[in-house]
Amino acid sequence: MVDWNDCQKNLRVSFRQKSLLEQAFAHLSYLNENPGFAQPSNERLEFLGDAILNFIVAEKLYEEFPKLPEGELTEIRASLVCRDTLAELASSLKLGDWLLLGRGEEANGGRAKASNLANAMEALIGALYLDQGLAKARRFILRQLKPKLEKIKAGKTTPNYKALVQEFIQGQKRPTPVYRLVEATGPDHSKQFTAEILVEGEALGRGTGKSKKTAESQAARAAWEKLRCSHGQTRL
């Protein structure tokens, strides 16, 4: 039995409608095995929370970075609301501890899956908005993102382009991108690597760097720029 009071203490929130809190953690697999459960799955709350999260983050970036152009603001926002970031935040809040999962999903490590954690984070935001309004949802979101925003302001972090591209591609129902080392030149103590990112055999970007990891990151950045330009303001 889930202790929702313990959950609220951990999140530092207090819901008026406990049903919304329960719904935020209800995975579809749980409902399939428990048809008598009073709440629907968290998918609709996830949809709402996703929109609210994007709005709040966009508003904050607009205020905090008055000199940044639209393209850079879009990149930063996308990195802050992508699945990997949301899963990291959800993990720090231990949201997996309160997920309501079916037996199969539980057995398959569902409490630690990035997709389940990210979805629960968005659903929680949607539930908080419905229960207490935009101001409370804003405070909750910005409290979680504060460390990352401070690093961005200090110039200590850059967008995770590999994660951004992967999430965008998966959103198109296409296979996961793969990286290919094209060449490595120069002496052993000062090699220069060149890598490509491919999707279904198509090269989306190429990058170079002093390590394979850097080259792949630069290739992903080139791919992200291409995808962003061809799709307008990409929502990830």
Query: What residues are annotated to the active site?
Result: 50, 122
DSSP 113: -
DSSP 16: S
Residue 43, Cα to own-chain centre: how many angstroms?
16
What is the C-alpha separation between 136 and 119, in angstroms, rounded? 19
What is the C-alpha separation between 21 and 120, in angstroms, rounded? 10
Q: Exposed (0-12), middle (13-18) or buried (19+): which is 101, by Cβ within 10 Å?
A: buried
Q: What is the amino acid identity at position 198? A: L
- How far separated are the first and last CA of the chain, in Å rounded? 34
Buried b (16+ CB within 10 A) or exposed e, 212-221: eeebbbbbbb
What is the C-alpha separation between 222 and 65, in angstroms, rounded? 23
The 3-state secondary structure of 74-89, one letter per residue: HHHHHHHHCHHHHHHH
Judge whether 179 and 216 are in contact, CB under 8 Å: yes
